[in-house]
Amino acid sequence: MDRHPTTVKLTRRRLVASAFALFGASAVTISSATADRTLVVADAATEERLLELPVDDGERVTLEYTHSVERTPVEDVYAVDGDELRAVKSVFHSFGAGLPTDVTRTDEGYVVDGTSRHDELYVVPGSIAGHELVVGDDRYDLVGIADGGVVLFLTDRTAGDAFAADRLSSVVTPQPRGSSLEHKSTD
């Protein structure tokens, strides 16, 4: 048995590859840590954090679901505004229970401009409604990650948030539009 450590010769190729690997890892860490805030989706009853997503001030956050009676799509669009989620607009395609009637008809559908601001936004994801959270190009199936009501809120982005978001991203993977969210077990 050879007890001597193996010597690795540092070639130019290994040095360049190591530098690129280090630079790439640093760039990913820096880019994920530069977001202004963290959007947290937590279990409403236990406060367990289910998702932590980096967001910038002004970034759009959309809740998409199917109206339970009309069976038509609804989009509630919010913008990150400091420590709050500011309602931008709601878009829907038919009138039904709970939907406003003072609307503007556009190519998008019926649109209502938002006026409310939320420190916390409560949602009860349902299998019929199929609630999804859309942030940037990423889509998250709230029904798949929650056992009941959830609360969305913003926190200041810290190094701890960046670490937690990286850890959570290995558990919950965003899915392209139209596919269901894959919830991976860490066990």
> What does the pLDDT look like over 151-168, one tens digit per residue?
999 999 764 545 555 544
119-160 pLDDT, tens digit per residue, is 999 999 999 999 999 999 999 999 999 999 999 999 997 645
186, 171 contact by CB (below 8 A): yes
Share the mean pLDDT of the chain.
Answer: 75
Q: Which residues on adjacent β-strands are paired with residue 43?
A: 150
135, 55 contact by CB (below 8 A): yes
Tell whether 6 is covered by a domain. Answer: no
Could you give the number of structural domains in the chain? 1
Task: Say what the pTM is.
Answer: 0.67
pLDDT band at 11 (very low <50, low <70, confident <90, very high): very low
Tell whether 153 is covered by a domain. Answer: yes
Note down the domain range covering 127: 12-183
In this structure, is the dihedral angle defined by the CA atoms of residues 97, 99, 103 and 106, taken in order, positive or negative? negative
Check residue 14 and give its pLDDT: 39
Tell whether 94 is covered by a domain. Answer: yes
Tell whether 2 is covered by a domain. Answer: no
- 143 against 68, higher pLDDT: 143
- 20 against 82, higher pLDDT: 82
On the question of pLDDT at 187 being above 60, the answer is no
Tell whether 5 is covered by a domain. Answer: no
Check residue 13 and give its pLDDT: 39
Tell whether 4 is covered by a domain. Answer: no
Check residue 108 and give its pLDDT: 87
Check residue 94 and give its pLDDT: 76
Tell whether 3 is covered by a domain. Answer: no
Burial of 143 (0-12, 13-18, 19+ CB in 10 A): middle
Give the Cα separation of 40 and 153 in Å (integer).
5
pLDDT band at 32 (very low <50, low <70, confident <90, very high): very low
Give the Cα separation of 145 and 42 in Å (integer).
10
Tell whether 109 is covered by a domain. Answer: yes
Give the Cα separation of 175 and 4 in Å (integer).
48
Give the Cα separation of 117 and 114 in Å (integer).
9
pLDDT band at 109 (very low <50, low <70, confident <90, very high): confident
Orientation angle between helical segments 159-169 and 12-33, nearest 10 degrees: 110
